[in-house]
């Protein structure tokens, strides 16, 4: 069953990643999600790689199961069509800068007067009081997150981690307001500033700096708060290990690194001697392949993981079996593998993947003549 949100109607004016990621969650589980773009100013991710036969795989994974209509909100007649949709919708989602939505006459004050039960979800860079355009890479920099990554200089995360967390956050906020609406009968407004999401991802680093004054060191492939907790070289590559407590350290040293057994017994001692310990551990690991070491660590109950490539994921039958990824045939893209269920409900699941819509594909369904 995929109908946990059956009956919900969502107007989606978001682009690129965070907003489409959020609205896709509702579409995956049965909501009617109407993606609104204009012919002149459509979602630019339709042109992002990978591209095949004019279709974007990037756009596909974020917009599957949605409908697409084209409206120019600067045009009075199109704006009135938009207002009519608002009257019968449950949720409106946008990621415009604050001044733009006021200029377009689609801010919360206007839309809540049209539909008092509307839940209005807003995503932007720095909140409602700072009119700044932002993308994930900008907020990785300004939130301080990038200053923690890398080995010799600041480094961005490989994927849009703040976009993802912002999208998850607004999904949580909207479902919370849906619950509250059942009690009050009234809609509400929620804003997720991306910079605030980035700050939530800083873990202990902000409070540590407030206590110790100094900025944390660049983390590289090791954690700043726990050790050993990161990537280590082995004979044929690298392996991740996570020794999160002193008991695991005792087990690890007794069985893998006997020269360290009985030493560095507190996490703080290990952190204070991190470079020295990395050198010793990696010298020991040169006699192991990642496959053999992983089996030994599994048997010892020590959390570990081989560093998988995208090809490794595509060949992992366990991921397919658990519906974490799914192989589908797409008319334009051919056979593709997409991220799938990341929330595992007992009574609900994503039954059949639906493709992302072409621009304006559903205009006729809503009596829009373009």
Same domain, 179 and 274: no
Q: Locate 302 and state its tokens.
A: 């020590």
Domain presence at residue 54: yes
Same domain, 182 and 126: yes
Domain presence at residue 303: yes
Same domain, 85 and 192: yes
Q: What is the pLDDT of residues 38-96, one digit of tens each?
A: 999 999 999 999 999 999 999 999 999 999 999 999 999 999 999 999 999 999 999 99
- CATH number of the domain enclosing 180: 3.40.50.10540
Same domain, 304 and 339: no
Domain presence at residue 184: yes
What integer pLDDT is reported at residue 2 of this predicted model?
66
Domain presence at residue 220: no
Q: How many CA within 13 A on the CB side of residue 336?
A: 20
Q: What is the pLDDT of residues 334-370, one digit of tens each?
A: 999 999 999 999 999 987 778 999 999 999 999 888 6
Same domain, 50 and 73: yes
Q: What is the pLDDT of residues 244-295, one digit of tens each?
A: 999 999 999 999 999 999 999 999 999 999 999 999 999 999 999 999 999 9
Which range marks the domain in which residue 248 is found? 229-308
Domain presence at residue 314: no
Same domain, 139 and 184: yes
Beta strands, E only, the chain: 9-13, 32-37, 51-52, 55-56, 67-70, 91-94, 119-124, 188-193, 229-234, 237-242, 304-306, 325-330, 334-339
The Cα 234–Cα 103 span in angstroms is 58
Total structural domains within the chain: 2
Same domain, 165 and 32: yes
């Amino acid at each position: 069953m995929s109908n946990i949100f059956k009956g919900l109607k969502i107007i989606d004016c978001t682009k690129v990643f965070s907003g489409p990621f959020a609205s896709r969650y509702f579409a995956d589980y049965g909501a009617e999600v109407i993606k609104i773009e204009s012919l002149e100013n459509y979602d630019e991710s339709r042109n992002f790689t990978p591209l095949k036969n004019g279709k974007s795989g990037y756009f596909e994974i974020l917009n599957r199961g949605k409908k697409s209509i084209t409206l120019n909100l600067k045009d009075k007649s199109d704006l009135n069509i938009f207002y009519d949709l608002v009257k019968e919708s449950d949720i409106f989602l946008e990621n415009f800068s604050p001044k733009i939505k006021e200029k377009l006459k689609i801010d919360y004050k206007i839309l809540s007067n049209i539909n008092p039960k509307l839940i209005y979800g807003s995503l932007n860079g720095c909140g409602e009081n700072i009119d700044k355009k932002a993308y994930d890479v900008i907020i990785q920099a300004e939130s301080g997150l990038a200053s923690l990554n890398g080995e010799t200089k600041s480094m961005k995360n490989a994927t849009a981690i703040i976009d993802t967390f912002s999208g998850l956050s607004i999904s949580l906020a909207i479902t919370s307001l849906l619950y509250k609406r059942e009690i009050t009968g009234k809609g509400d407004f929620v804003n997720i500033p991306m910079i605030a999401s980035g700050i939530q991802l800083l873990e202990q680093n902000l409070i540590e700096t407030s206590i110790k004054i100094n900025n944390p060191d660049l983390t590289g492939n090791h954690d700043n708060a726990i050790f050993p907790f990161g990537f280590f070289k082995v004979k044929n590559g690298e392996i991740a290990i996570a020794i999160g407590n002193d008991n695991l350290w005792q087990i690890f040293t007794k069985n893998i690194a006997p020269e360290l057994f009985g030493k560095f017994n507190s996490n703080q001692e290990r952190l204070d001697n991190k470079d020295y310990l990395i050198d010793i551990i990696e010298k020991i690991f040169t006699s192991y392949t990642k496959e053999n070491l992983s089996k030994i660590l599994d048997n010892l109950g020590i959390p570990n993981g081989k560093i998988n490539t995208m090809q490794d994921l595509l060949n992992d039958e366990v991921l397919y079996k658990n519906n974490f990824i799914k192989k589908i045939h797409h008319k334009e893209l051919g056979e593709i593998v997409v991220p799938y269920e990341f929330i595992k409900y007992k009574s609900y699941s994503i039954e059949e993947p639906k493709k992302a819509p072409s621009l304006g594909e559903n205009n006729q369904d809503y009596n829009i003549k373009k």
